[in-house]
Amino acid sequence: MTRLRLLVALIVVGVVAAGAAWLTLRTDDPVTVNGAATVVPEYDVVIPAGSGARIDAGEQLDILPAELVVRVGESIRIVNHDDRGHVVGIFYVGTGETLIQTFTTAGELSGDCSVHPSGRFTLKVVAA
């Protein structure tokens, strides 16, 4: 990944923060951030420990689809248990971090993906 792409990914994550498992539909587990219950995401992506090393060894992981369609008002949670950070579309999730994003407007978000065999991930947000 070029430094520019990494910088852009980090900026996007900063903006998002300010304002595998397999992708599973609807979880009943409450999400706690800083001791307070928050959004219950409709979509969970878990990047298992050792994913980066497995990818380096040439293994193609089945962590998430290349394209995901969500509705306005729905949320995605990406949990990274790996020992390195990963890019998932426009999101960067560092080692041991969890990213939660609720979508408020329709649109298409696409970018590189370090955990999908194609190297790309597209998230389509459609009207509710």
Can you give the pLDDT at residue 87? Answer: 97
Confidence of residue 28 (pLDDT cuts 50, 70, 90): very low
23, 64 contact by CB (below 8 A): yes
As a whole number of angstroms, the distance between CA 13 and CA 82 comes to 18
Can you give the pLDDT at residue 41? Answer: 79
Q: Is 112 exposed, middle or buried (0-12, 13-18, 19+ CB in 10 A)?
A: buried
Strand partners, 86: 93
The two tokens of residue 126 are 């459609």
CATH code, 3-126:
2.60.40
State pLDDT tens for residues 73-127.
Answer: 999 999 999 999 999 999 999 999 999 999 999 999 999 999 999 999 999 999 9
Identify the residue with better confidence: 30 or 106: 106
DSSP 8-state assignment for residue 72: T
State pLDDT tens for residues 49-69.
Answer: 999 999 999 999 999 999 999
Query: Percentage of residues in the chain with pLDDT exceeding 70?
Result: 69
Can you give the pLDDT at residue 15? Answer: 40
* Domain positions in the chain: 3-126
Can you give the pLDDT at residue 39? Answer: 58
Q: Indicate the average pLDDT of the chain.
A: 80
20, 63 contact by CB (below 8 A): yes
Can you give the pLDDT at residue 104? Answer: 94
Q: What pTM, to 2 d.p., does this model score? A: 0.70
Can you give the pLDDT at residue 60? Answer: 94
As a whole number of angstroms, the distance between CA 71 and CA 66 comes to 17
